Chain A
Amino acid sequence: MYATLETAKARSKQGLSPWMIVGRVLLYLVLMAGALIMLSPFAYMLSMSFNPNGYTLPSPGDVIPAHPTLNNYISAWTDANFGQAFFNSVIVACSATALTVLLSASLAFAFARYDFPGRNILFYGMLATMTVPGIVLIIPQFVLASRLGLVNNRLGLILVYAAGMAFGVYMLRGFFEEIPQELFDAAAIDGSGIFRTFWSIALPLARPALAAVIIFSFAANWEEFTWAIVSTNDSSLYTLPVAIQQYYSAHGPAWGVIFAGSVLAMLPEVLVFLIFQRHFISGIRAGGVRG
């Protein structure tokens, strides 16, 4: 380890040779070109959403609109009913996330700390369902939901999203297993049962792990499309992705309104990503300074 550090220091003291400078410049050029390719679709999306003509740009080369306007946002929010859809998405994604995090934490806690009969079958059975692509479930879920009267129903959306909890259980179980037993022994002496131990000891301790599960689960619920389009056909219940897709299939290339709605759909997830980057790109920063 020391040797590595020493050589690295020695090399950096020698300064940069002309070839290394050329290499650096090339590297930045390549990275900038890549960044341009990654970013330009978003630039066009933003540009169209502020463009007075909602159908075409004056010239595809002019990405920055000369006369930006908020009209597209106003008609997206009101005429296209994306405001209602945004509200639906908030309700559905938040309730489903709360439910799934609470229930997956409870299962993970029981699987991690209690050696009850049937524990392994239940846990590994649950993990096994993770290998089945979720879309296989859509058809029978639709049949079940229609029997229970949960088609065209926010509760139907929430319950199906919340049932996708296997990943959270897997993540949190690992976390709960790491907590030292002494912390639970005190509670056991006090005679508190599983419910109280979970609520007053385990959950507060698990805050960082819960935050990670909340972020991933919210992102997944916020952008879910397939179940939402299958189970809702009443436009007042559409979530934002469905509302945008339905608007596109009904009105065609009304890009101004569509991309104003898309910006609304992107905002919460991108904000969550920017705030909690470290959770998404974890462990990368720590080693990032290596030579």
Chain B
Amino acid sequence: MEISSLDRSHAGTRIERRYGQKVRAFRRYLPVYLFILPGMALFGLWTLYPLLDAFVMSFFNWNPNPVAQSPFVGLQNYLEAFSDPVFWQAFRNVVFYTAVTVAGQIILGLAVALLLNRKLFALGFFRVLYYLPVVTSWVVVSLVFAFLFSSSDGPVDWFLGDVLHLIPDTQSWLGSTTLALPTLMILGIWKGIGWNMVIFLAGLQSIPNELYEAARVDGANRWTLFHAITLPLLRPTITFAVVILTMGGFGSFIPMFVLTQGGPLHSTETLLTYAFSNAFSSFDFGYAAAITYIFAFVVFLLALIQIRLMRRKIEY
């Protein structure tokens, strides 16, 4: 910093002073930087760097062998995805799966929350019970559903076939191209009801009771109370749930991977099972990285659109 030349310009001085300040600030906070170094290093190496690396990878015909050449292919991986029928099938599956499971979870979660939002005998018991699937891992619940829906001697087959006589004696569920995805949807909804219940109970309890009291004095019935007070005031909660659940639905992977591997005939393929098999079965890492980036972009876009739409509706 000891520049003592005579021809220092004003601008030069200012830059130097600013530079000097920065160096001083840096020196002053050196212990703080050292303090955050381990955490930042771990985060940088295993989160930030992979994030950028995946983006770079998606523009290469990436070869996992470090000695081999990985030619730059520009947007080819992305174009390949857009003309790949399996990619589009996976995309459709994910949209369908997400639409049904998000709607199902929100409607049932809200219904349970409304039922439990009162003084009740064994209230805590019911809440814990409905929450149990949420704290059970995806691998475990997936396998339990594989058992429940196993054909010919599974409990669901038995109940619907032998007890209620609604379906033929042996119905294939996860092995059927038409029923495998709906079976996975039932699993997804069942596992998520408890989470939605908790979110909606919190939302319901933030609505001031005075509003209901005043409306009741005005002679409003239950449906009016729900429709005119509960639903509008729950809108932020619903938005939050829709955004989070949509991300989850688009990112579903474990139940499909464990139960169907995306089959039969790609009928339960999701974007991530497809990316996964491209990376770790075909070793086409560049293509897989492109698919995950398309996925991340779509999820981001959907979240923005949902937040916009929900906000607009409140403002009437």
Contact = CB atoms under 8 A, between A and B. Distances in A.
Given A131-B300, A140-B50, A280 B135 contact: yes
A250 interface: no
B129 A38 contact: yes
A36 to B, nearest CB: 10
A129 B48 contact: yes
B132 A39 contact: yes
Nearest to A162: B42
Nearest to A131: B300
A114 interface: yes
Contacts of B127: 281, 284
B25 interface: yes
Contact of A266 (B39, B51, B136, B300): B136
A245 B139 CA distance: 7
Interface residues of B, number: 96
A21 B221 CA distance: 19
Interface in A248-264: 248, 253, 255, 258-259, 262
Contacts of B226: none
By CB atoms of chain B within 10 A, which of A125, A222, A290 has the most? A290
B112 A34 contact: yes
A198 B35 contact: yes
Interface string A133-162: 101111111111011000000000001101
Nearest to B41: A103
Contacts of A213: none
Given A44-B144, A122-B40, A269 B135 contact: yes
B175 interface: no
Contacts of B176: none
A104 B258 CA distance: 32
A233 B139 CA distance: 17
Contact of B29 (A27, A104, A117, A125): A117
Interface stretch (A76-84, A176-184, A270-278): A270-278
Contacts of B279: 138-139, 142
B288 interface: yes
B147 A244 contact: no
Given A41-B148, A262-B144, A3 B39 contact: no
A252 to B, nearest CB: 10
B225 to A, nearest CB: 13
Interface in B185-221: 190, 193-194, 198, 201-202, 205, 209-210, 213
A287 B205 contact: yes
Contacts of A222: 137
Contacts of B115: 27, 30-31
By CB atoms of chain B within 10 A, which of A31, A165, A285 has the most? A31
Contacts, number: 256
A144 B210 CA distance: 57
Nearest to B52: A140
Nearest to B28: A116
Contact of A4 (B202, B213, B293): B213
Contact of B292 (A45, A61, A110, A135): A135
A228 B121 CA distance: 42
Contacts of B120: 27, 31
A18 interface: no
A286 B209 CA distance: 14
A135 B272 contact: yes
Nearest to B153: A56
Contacts of B254: 225-226
B147 A245 contact: no
Interface stretch (B9-17, B92-100, B154-162, B230-238): B154-162
Given A107-B43, A135-B253, A139-B275, 16 more contacts: A4-B209, A35-B129, A48-B147, A57-B153, A60-B155, A60-B157, A117-B29, A136-B296, A139-B279, A144-B53, A166-B43, A244-B143, A270-B135, A270-B136, A274-B128, A284-B201
For the complex of A and B, the 6 pairs showing the least CB-CB separation, nearest first, are A223-B137, A163-B46, A140-B50, A60-B158, A287-B205, A103-B39
Interface of A: 3-4, 7, 27-28, 30-31, 34-35, 37-42, 44-45, 48, 56-57, 59-61, 99, 103-104, 106-107, 110, 114, 116-117, 122, 125-126, 129, 131-133, 135-144, 146-147, 159-160, 162-166, 193-195, 198, 219, 222-223, 225-226, 230, 241, 244-245, 248, 253, 255, 258-259, 262, 265-266, 269-270, 273-274, 277, 280-281, 283-291
Interface of B: 22, 25-26, 29, 31-33, 35-36, 38-40, 42-43, 45-51, 53-54, 57, 64, 66, 112, 115-121, 123-124, 126-133, 135-141, 143-148, 150, 153-155, 157-159, 163, 190, 193-194, 198, 201-202, 205, 209-210, 213, 247, 250-251, 253-254, 258, 272, 275-276, 279-280, 285, 288-289, 292-293, 295-296, 299-300, 303
26 contacts: A3-B210, A35-B130, A38-B130, A45-B147, A56-B153, A59-B158, A60-B159, A107-B36, A125-B48, A132-B51, A135-B272, A138-B279, A140-B54, A144-B50, A162-B46, A166-B43, A194-B31, A223-B138, A225-B137, A241-B139, A248-B258, A255-B147, A265-B139, A266-B136, A288-B205, A291-B118
